[in-house]
Amino acid sequence: MRRLFSFPNPVNEVSARLVAAGVVAMSAAALVFQLEWLVVVIALGFIARVATGPSLSVLGQVVTRVVTPRLPVAPKPVPGPPKRFAQGIGAAFSIASALLLLVFDLDLAGWIVLGALTAAAALEACFAFCLGCKIFALLTRAGLIPDTICEACNDIQARTDAALERAAAN
């Protein structure tokens, strides 16, 4: 059994894109209807996904347990660490947006930050272009991410085979 506070590796990109689509939908609703409380919900979802992957995230659970299994598409395993990094960036942006809106009363700045988050999530959802993953790769090349993480990302096939074997056994 997977530990509660662990992030999956590999990650199914199909599920990651669907979670991003959920973030786009919630963020767009927050922006259009000026729902500051929804920004807090978005931030809590990102915090949960950074800490545990989909385990404590309502959106993550709906996507991984209900939506993805019903789609007629094969899983597409991708390295987990870049996706976790991207979730961390989403957490930072959504927390910043919530603070700007609710604590500092800087509405325009808060909505702009949420708009930037929405655009990044839309790139992931629509085009499988993960901005956080690209930043992760740049930081890896610059030597700011430890080699052990880079090796883990580059050796996805062994983890993919192991994950598929575990899934087949269950």
Q: Which two tokens stand for residue 86?
A: 């991207």
The pLDDT tens digits for 33-82 are 999 999 999 999 999 999 999 999 999 999 999 999 999 999 999 999 99
CA–CA gap between residue 19 and residue 14 (Å, rounded): 9
Q: Domain locations in the chain?
A: 11-169
Per-residue pLDDT at 150 exceeds 70: no
- What would the DSSP string read from start to end of 104-135? S--HHHHHHHHHHHHHHHHHHHHH---HHHHH
CA–CA gap between residue 108 and residue 48 (Å, rounded): 26
Helix ranges, the chain (H): 13-33, 36-52, 58-61, 68-70, 80-102, 107-127, 131-141, 147-154, 156-169
The pLDDT tens digits for 108-143 are 999 999 999 999 999 999 999 999 999 998 998 898
